Amino acid sequence: MRRAGARETTTAAAMLQRLRTLARDLPRRVTFMEVCGTHTHAIGAAGLRQLLPERMRLVSGPGCPVCVTPVGYLDHAEALARQRGVELCSFGDLYRVPSSRGSLERLAAEGFPVRIVYSPHDALALAEQHADSDLVFLSIGFETTTPTVAATLETARERGVRNLRILPGNKRIAPALSALARDPDVRIDGLLLPGHVSVITGAAVYRFLAREHRLASVVAGFRPLEILAALIELTRMLLAERPALANLYPSVVRDEGNAVAQQLSERWFTAADADWRGLGPIPDSGLRLRERAADWDASRVAVELPEAREPSGCRCGEVLRGAIDPPDCPLFAQRCTPERPVGACMVSSEGSCAAWFRHERASRPVARAAAARAKGDPA
Ligand code: SF4
């Protein structure tokens, strides 16, 4: 993150003061959720969480694509990799995420070909170079990633590339927020909505949050001042008892989103029920490939899957629902570190546990959670 200039620091101090003044009138402690992993890192890097008013809590949500990818998806990928002639292509973040029996890293150590790629186009290039192999691209991500996979399929079709397959694990964020809003165990008063995803989806897809669930929500950018402005706006809405949707990132997010990217995705993908780590199955929250993409669809290849098993003691599911903060997990910074991660939220660079480890290990909430555990109190 770039260093703040003197004027920015003065503005941030004034905004914090404004937030604290507003928060004094809140009738109780409120909880806001930052949905996106990039926000979690920005908040941690700027030290914002420690500066919040006592009556305000910020929890992380399900906006890290690697973290919400369920263990069953990785099991499926591994089962495909064990078939003759198959090579997996994966984003690097997925490489060390535990599956039921190991991980892609372990699979590679056993001698199965697992390649790290930076985009689906890289996987396509590899497929063209290795005509005698079946390249399977592990397609995970939110609405920002899906259009690039769709564009790759367009190119594969144009060039007649048939040895590239896609294992679709793509997710849609709005249905997940709908599931969270309906979950009686999740208590949030407002949402800091993801800026990047909203560029594609548009802000309008979140309007149901206020209409159906009376949840305040703000689309926000990632600079500390933008995050503070979003928190002020959320607080104002709560005080006025008028939950609504506000778009504070209008320079890049429009109400209707990016129609070209949406149409590209819709040509190849269609909504489907999907399983999320921590949230379970959610109707229409994922994408499957359409019939026209059948030749490239790795999910149509029959494989035998083991019973899905999460890493023992890992509480990623609760972290992803905002039910606990990462330091509340007894393994945090003990058995689980970025060098030796136990769960997906510590593996992924966008994961909440990784963000807290990197930026907030020495903070008061971390110390409080550790002290509570030492006393045997529930975290
Ligand atoms: S600290 Fe590690 S084990 Fe605990 S929830 Fe996070 S990723 Fe899972």
Q: What is the pLDDT of residues 22-80, one digit of tens each?
A: 999 999 999 999 999 999 999 999 999 999 999 999 999 999 999 999 999 999 999 99
Q: Which pLDDT score, from 0 to 100, does residue 374 have? A: 58
| Residues in a beta bridge with 269 | 289
CATH 3.40.50.11740 corresponds to the domain 1-310: yes
Q: For residues 136-154, give the mean pLDDT.
A: 97
pLDDT band at 349 (very low <50, low <70, confident <90, very high): confident
- Whole-number Å distance between alpha carbons of 343 and 97: 7
- Whole-number Å distance between alpha carbons of 331 and 277: 18
Ligand 1 centroid from CA 331, angstroms: 6
Could you list the beta-strand ranges (E) of the chain.
30-36, 56-63, 86-90, 114-116, 134-141, 164-170, 190-193, 216-219, 245-247, 269-276, 280-289
Protein residues whose CB sits closer than 6 Å to any atom of ligand 1: 314-316, 319, 326, 329, 331-332, 336, 342-343, 345-346, 353
Amino acid letter, 283: P
Express each pLDDT in 166-193 by its tens digit. Answer: 999 999 999 999 999 999 988 899 999 9
What is the SS3 assignment for 233?
Answer: helix
Task: Answer yes or no: is pLDDT of 378 > 50.
Answer: no
Determine contact, residues 30/55, Cβ cutoff 8 Å.
Answer: yes
| Residues in a beta bridge with 281 | 275
Q: Which pLDDT score, from 0 to 100, does residue 358 have? A: 93
Ligand 1 centroid from CA 223, angstroms: 27
Percent of the chain with pLDDT over 90: 88
| Residues in a beta bridge with 288 | 270
Count other C-beta atoms under 10 Å from residue 236's C-beta. 15
Express each pLDDT in 290-317 by its tens digit. Answer: 999 999 999 999 999 999 999 999 999 9
Determine contact, residues 96/347, Cβ cutoff 8 Å.
Answer: yes
Residue recorded with tokens 């994408």: 287
Q: Which of 332, 348, 350 to mutate to test the pocket of ligand 1 (most atoms within 8 A of CB)?
A: 332
Ligand 1 centroid from CA 236, angstroms: 34
Q: Which two tokens stand for residue 147?
A: 């259009």
DSSP state of 256: S
- pTM greater than the 0.85 cutoff: yes
**Domain residue spans in the chain?**
1-310, 316-374
- Whole-number Å distance between alpha carbons of 33 and 188: 7
Q: Which two tokens stand for residue 155?
A: 């190119």
